[in-house]
Amino acid sequence: MIKFPDWCNETEEAVSTHKLRRLVAEKVKLAQVVDTLAEAVPDFYADPGRVAQLLKKLGKNAAAKFVEEKLPTQATIRSGDLGEILCTAYVHEVTPFNLGIKRLRWKDHRNMSMRGEDVLAFRLSGKNVSLKILKAEVKSAAKMSSTIIGKARKALSANSGLPSPHAISFVADRLNESGDTALGDALDKAQLKDGIKPTQVSHMLFTFSGNDPSKPLKTDLQAYAGSISQHYVALCVTTHQAFIKEVFEAVSA
């Protein structure tokens, strides 16, 4: 677990009926966080069961090579991937949406970005299996701007604010392949029979940056005129670029 409260100072404010949360990393704790992330990151790229099989069959060096060849080497892809990893971890640890997949395991190439929603997370509850969906868009940049935030807002609002059918099908396929039929079946039913309704969906805009983008995030949130619940989260690490480099170097080491 990443345990954000252990290394971030958190503040939250209401913006209309929505929420804006700010997480500011404590500089003195960054070295500890790099170590924590170095342990967590491989799991987002490779199934531990697959790694264990290679370790048993071919040894430690082969298993390590398998993981390392999945790690991005380009700085921009590393930035986006780490933002997605941090968002996924945050959603699963802090929100009720604790179900889903680690989609980076299915990248076409380690130095390519994936298409579709950055993060989809889910919650199942009740005897009648009530399904709730979080559609999240992630942006990572040394300096977060209103232009970048606007692109994220556009992505969240696409498809009438609902997750795309392709993205839901992709998650459902992966879940059924892995044997997680409870969530897989719920997604199939929602997509193929009942239809997904706006009341089932929440949005998250997650930024990972070196500056504090609270002002443009608040402005963007105030301009939102839709009916879907919005949760904006700004993670600020002042050494953004160096932090990303240190994390991936620690993973490789």
Mean pLDDT value across residues 64-77: 93
Mean pLDDT value across residues 34-53: 93
| Phi/psi of residue 20, nearest 5 degrees | -125, 120
Mean pLDDT value across residues 42-70: 91
Please provide the DSSP assignment of 169-217 as one string.
HHHHHHHHHHT-HHHHHHHHHIIIII---GGGEEEEEEEEESS--HHHH
Mean pLDDT value across residues 201-227: 96
Mean pLDDT value across residues 181-188: 93
- The pair of structure tokens assigned to 247 is 């994390």
DSSP label at 128? T
Percentage of the chain with pLDDT > 70?
Answer: 100
pLDDT at residue number 145: 97
- The pair of structure tokens assigned to 192 is 């193929």
Q: Which residues contact 200 (CB under 8 A, 6 or more apart)?
A: 131, 132, 133, 190
At 252, the pLDDT band (50, 70, 90 cuts) reads confident
At 242, the pLDDT band (50, 70, 90 cuts) reads very high
Mean pLDDT value across residues 59-67: 90
What value, to the nearest 5°, has the Cα angle with vertex 123 and ends 119 and 129?
A: 140
- The pair of structure tokens assigned to 197 is 């309704």
What one-letter code names the amino acid at 26? E
Q: Is the pLDDT of residue 126 over 80?
A: no
What one-letter code names the amino acid at 108? D
Question: For the whole prediction, is pTM greater than 0.75?
Answer: yes
pLDDT at residue number 127: 72
Percentage of the chain with pLDDT > 90?
Answer: 88
What one-letter code names the amino acid at 238? T
* Contact of 42 with 251, CB cutoff 8 Å: yes
Q: Is the pLDDT of residue 129 over 90?
A: no
Phi-psi region of 16 (alpha: psi -120 to 50; beta: other; left: phi over 0): left
Mean pLDDT value across residues 112-121: 92
What value, to the nearest 5°, has the Cα angle with vertex 191 and ends 187 and 195?
A: 120
| Phi/psi of residue 206, nearest 5 degrees | -115, 120
Phi-psi region of 185 (alpha: psi -120 to 50; beta: other; left: phi over 0): alpha
pLDDT tens-digit profile of 152-179?
Answer: 999 999 999 999 999 999 999 999 998 8
Q: Is the pLDDT of residue 204 over 90?
A: yes
pLDDT at residue number 248: 96
**In angstroms, how far is CA 175 from the centroid of its own chain?**
17
Mean pLDDT value across residues 239-252: 95
At 14, the pLDDT band (50, 70, 90 cuts) reads very high
